[in-house]
Amino acid sequence: MLHLTKKAILTMAFIFGMSITQGQTSSDSTTLQKPGSVTERARVEFLAGSFATATYIPPMRSMPKGVTGKGTSTITWALDSMFLLIEDENFNSLFGLYKAHGVLGFDSHTHQFVLSMFNNYGDHPTYQGNFVGDTLVLQTNVKAPRGSFDQKLVWYKDGETVKFKVLNDFGKGFLLTLEQTATPTLQRTK
């Protein structure tokens, strides 16, 4: 009987200790994952929805008039509204059919937004950054066969539309590489 009592006491102590530890872990996890998450979610809310997109690529030597394209973008909340899932598809005469999937979230450890993108060309860059005023600015270094370059993504609300820009820096400052205007097609998702 004493053996069962000791075992019962040890089991209760273990369960009590685990519940305290899990409570701390849960509390710590909440603290680590969601500080200000409502604020961060609210800041990127303008990105959520279904959009028709119009793409513009500025003139370059091979395309002196520039390039335009059309497509769609669907951005939805996932995982308890902690991440935005991005589905983008468009067509233009320079790149042909472009498809991309991405995940955008806030990293509470670095206090930055992080975007991981994957596309049908095999690219898989990860961008980090934050808001500058009302503009989300994310950046990465792209490894390329002819050397690396810095790439910046910029998102901001412009009236009812959402503007998206890609800027590249090959060592002489950032230059506009692509600009996209996203017009809502359906009611925004939450």
| Percentage with pLDDT > 70 across the chain | 77
Closest CA to 102 of 144, 44, 148: 44
Q: Where are the domains of the chain?
A: 2-33, 38-184
Per-residue pLDDT, 61: 82
CA–CA gap between residue 37 and residue 40 (Å, rounded): 5
CATH 3.30.70.1560 fits 38-184, yes or no: no
Per-residue pLDDT, 95: 82
Q: How confident is the model at residue 6 (pLDDT cuts 50, 70, 90)?
A: very low
CA–CA gap between residue 166 and residue 112 (Å, rounded): 19
Choice among 50-59, 66-75, 88-97, 154-163 with the minimum mean pLDDT: 88-97
pLDDT at 186 over 80: no
Beta bridge partner(s), residue 118: 101
Closest CA to 46 of 129, 104, 96: 104
Token pair recorded at residue 120? 């049908």
From residue 114, give the alpha-carbon distance in Å to each of 16, 136, 162, 190. Answer: 37, 11, 19, 20
CA–CA gap between residue 75 and residue 153 (Å, rounded): 16
CA–CA gap between residue 101 and residue 114 (Å, rounded): 14
127-182 residue pLDDT tens? 999 999 999 999 999 988 888 999 999 999 999 999 999 999 999 999 999 999 99
CA–CA gap between residue 36 and residue 93 (Å, rounded): 43
pLDDT at 62 over 70: yes
Closest CA to 126 of 111, 143, 109: 143
